[in-house]
């Protein structure tokens, strides 16, 4: 992975500072919102009924959302 970054083939983007080391429900939601903001199109592999992704996808406006599994 480091070689790909060094070669300019991989970009790592995060809304978090280096001190954030673990995923929590709060950081997962922030990460997902951040990725939705960056994306032109959003592909959802699976979003559980009543889950965070289902709720966040319902809030998406003006972007194409592709649901792979319903």
Task: State pLDDT tens for residues 18-32.
Answer: 899 999 999 999 999
Give CA–CA dist 26/8, Å, rounded: 31
Q: How many CB atoms lie within 10 A of CB 47?
A: 19
pLDDT reported for residue 69: 79
Question: Whole-model pTM?
Answer: 0.76
Task: State pLDDT tens for residues 7-63.
Answer: 989 888 899 998 999 999 999 999 999 999 999 999 999 999 999 999 999 999 999
The torsion angles phi and psi of 69, rounded to 5 degrees, stand at -130, 130
Residue 70: which pLDDT band, with cuts at 50, 70 and 90? Answer: low
Domain definitions of the chain by residue range: 2-15+24-67
């Amino acid at each position: 992975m480091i070689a790909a970054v060094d070669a300019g083939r991989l970009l790592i983007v995060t809304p978090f500072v280096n001190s954030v080391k673990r995923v929590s429900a709060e950081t997962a939601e922030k990460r997902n919102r951040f990725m939705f903001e960056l994306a032109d199109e959003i592909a959802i592999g699976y979003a559980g009924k009543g889950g965070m992704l289902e709720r966040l996808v319902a809030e998406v406006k003006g972007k194409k959302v592709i649901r792979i599994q319903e």
